[in-house]
Chains A and B, each alone.
Chain A
Amino acid sequence: MDFRSLWHRPESRFLILFLSILGVSFTIVALKPVNDAFVVPYTTLIAKVAGIILGLFGEDITINGCLLRSPRFAVTIYNGCNGLITSLIFISGVLAFPARLSAKVIGVIGGLVSIQIINMVRIISLFYIGIYFPKLFNSSHIFIWQSLVILAGVTLWIVWAHLFTAQPKTDEGRND
Chain B
Amino acid sequence: MNPSEHAALYRSFLKRLPMTLLAAMLLWLALRPVLDVAVSGFAQLLVRSFEYPRVTRLVVEDHSAEVRRSDFRTDSGIPAIPLTEKHFNTIVLLALYFALPRPFSRRQLERLFMGWCILYLTQTMNVLFHVKCLYALSLGEWSVQNYSDLARDFYGFWRYFTDLPGRFSFPFLIWLGFNWDLVTRLIGPTLSSGEETTKKKPSTKPTTRPKSKRRKRTSGR
Contact = CB atoms under 8 A, between A and B. Distances in A.
A166 B160 contact: no
Contacts of B197: 168-169
Interface in A138-176: 139, 142-144, 146-148, 150-151, 153-155, 157-159, 161-162, 165-169, 174
Interface string B1-45: 001001000100110010001001100100000000000000000
A161 B191 contact: yes
B88 A161 contact: no
A162 B25 contact: no
B116 to A, nearest CB: 16
Interface of A is mostly: helix
Contacts of A151: 17, 21, 92, 95-96
Contacts of B89: 147, 150
Given A11-B180, A89-B168, A142-B84, A147 B95 contact: yes
A108 B157 CA distance: 27
B177 A11 contact: yes
B61 interface: no
A148 B169 CA distance: 13
Interface in B37-72: none
A15 interface: yes
Interface string A46-59: 00000000000000
A26 B168 contact: no
A151 B96 CA distance: 8
Interface in A10-36: 10-11, 14-15, 18-19, 22-23, 26, 30
Nearest to A11: B180
B172 interface: yes
Contacts of A19: 173
Interface stretch (A63-71, A78-86, A120-128, A129-137): A78-86
B88 A143 contact: yes
B20 to A, nearest CB: 9
B172 A144 contact: no
Q: How large is the interface on A (under 10, 10 to 19, 20 to 34, 35 or more residues)?
A: 35 or more
Interface stretch (B124-132, B138-146, B181-189): B181-189
A130 B205 CA distance: 65
B168 A30 contact: no
B188 A166 contact: yes
A147 B20 CA distance: 12
B169 A89 contact: yes
Contacts of A147: 21, 24-25, 88-89, 91-92, 95
Interface of B: 3, 6, 10, 13-14, 17, 21, 24-25, 28, 82, 84-85, 88-89, 91-92, 95-96, 157, 160-161, 164-165, 168-169, 171-173, 176-177, 180, 183-184, 186-191, 193-195, 197, 218, 221
6 contacts: A14-B176, A19-B173, A146-B88, A147-B89, A158-B10, A169-B194
